Amino acid sequence: MEPSRDDFVIALRSAFLKKGTQQRFSLLSLIFFSIIFLILGSFNFKIINYVKIGITEIVYRSSFIVSVPENLLKDSYITIQNHNKLYKENEKIKSELEILKAKDLLNEFTILENQRLKKIVDDYLVKSDTIIAKVLSDKGSPFLRSIIINKGSKQKINLGMAVMDGAYIVGKVVEVNYLSSRVLLLSDLNSKIPVIIEPNAVFSILSGTGKDYGVIQYSKKYEDIKNESVIYTSGAGSLFKAGIPIGRMNINNLNDEKKVEFFSDFSQLKFVKVVSFKKSENK
């Protein structure tokens, strides 16, 4: 047994310490470097933070360039798919448009009435500053869902700002660099935001799942949540403005988890709006 144990030790030592041809560092020294990076990084050591910022700026830009061929393929694939669906969709959309036109008039009236009533009850109105940003990269790991946008602290992006795709909210800013920022999408496992479920005004928390849908958690009134109910931001915690549409409930069975299908398709984000909401004084 003794020689085989020796062989094992020699092979392992050689694997760790031997520098191969054209290798400047041994594996052991590089492993040692990685561990130092990890430990100092977790203590927010300044030098490591500067290194990280430097790498971040380089990587985000190069990631965007490197993604161009794949994005081109992806776009072509989606375009072909969309062409196949076009005729059926057109017919459906025509009929829906007529209904929506009528609803829009009603909606306009409701908005004006709401503003008038808010003034009467002396509630505040919300004004927002919007920054349009381009999505540089949507390449997370299979387990983490985030995107990188091309606006950073230079363009006055701050942590916690809401990120929207049209009228729908898609996430919030969690990391701000000088020329870029990272946005945590609502579908990420670590994302949790306060929401209100209409029509029954159920307050709850929307959690990401790491997939393309979210789930409703921490609500005592599960029986009031109906299929096809619409989820809006509740405005609790002053995180986001109240009433931004997020998605629609998709419940097939009462015992199932309360799935939320997002209005926005997070895999198709090209441009997003980064919004900060401020309270405006009533005049």
- Looking at the Cβ atoms of 139 and 279, the one nearer to other proteins is 139
Return the residues of window 262-281 that contact other proteins according to CB under 8 A: 267
Smallest separation (angstroms) from other proteins to the CB of 243: 28
Asked if 134 interacts with other proteins (CB under 8 A), we say no
Answer for which of 133, 137, 196, 277 binds other proteins (CB under 8 A) is 137
Answer for which of 6, 62, 160, 167 binds other proteins (CB under 8 A) is 62
Q: Output the six-digit token pair for 167.
A: 């009228």
CA distances from 267 to 4, 37, 165, 181, 237 (A): 53, 32, 12, 18, 28
Asked if 250 interacts with other proteins (CB under 8 A), we say no
Those residues whose C-beta lies under 8 Å from the C-beta of residue 109, and which sit 6 or more positions away, are none
At 151, which helix (H) or strand (E)?
A: none
- Looking at the Cβ atoms of 177 and 229, the one nearer to other proteins is 177
The total of other beta-carbon atoms located within 10 Å of residue 199's CB is: 10
Return the residues of window 205-234 that contact other proteins according to CB under 8 A: 210-212
Asked if 33 interacts with other proteins (CB under 8 A), we say yes
Q: Output the six-digit token pair for 5.
A: 């144990």
Asked if 159 interacts with other proteins (CB under 8 A), we say no
Smallest separation (angstroms) from other proteins to the CB of 123: 37
At 60, which helix (H) or strand (E)?
A: helix 46-120
Burial 56-95 (b: 16+ CB within 10 A, else e): beeebbeebeebeeeeeeeeeeeeeeeeeeeeeeeeeeee
- Looking at the Cβ atoms of 60 and 240, the one nearer to other proteins is 60
Nearest alpha-carbon partner for 179 in 156, 160, 201: 156
Smallest separation (angstroms) from other proteins to the CB of 25: 6
Site string for other proteins, 75-114 (x = CB under 8 A): --xx------------------------------------
Residue whose entry in the numeric block shows the structure tokens 């985000």: 60
Return the residues of window 161-180 that contact other proteins according to CB under 8 A: 175
Smallest separation (angstroms) from other proteins to the CB of 198: 28
Answer for which of 30, 72, 117, 132 binds other proteins (CB under 8 A) is 30
Answer for which of 21, 44, 84, 253 binds other proteins (CB under 8 A) is 21
Instruction: Check if the beta carbon of residue 201 is closer than 8 Å to that of residue 177.
Output: no
**Cα–Cα–Cα angle for 115, 117, 121, rounded to 5 degrees:** 120
Q: Quote the CA–CA distance of 158 and 227 in Å, as a whole number.
A: 36
Q: Quote the CA–CA distance of 28 and 114 in Å, as a whole number.
A: 67
Smallest separation (angstroms) from other proteins to the CB of 107: 32
| Residue ranges binding other proteins (CB under 8 A) | 7-8, 10-12, 14-16, 18, 20-27, 30-31, 33-38, 41-42, 48, 51-52, 55-56, 59-60, 62-63, 66-67, 70, 73-74, 77-78, 137, 139-144, 146, 175, 182, 189-190, 210-212, 267
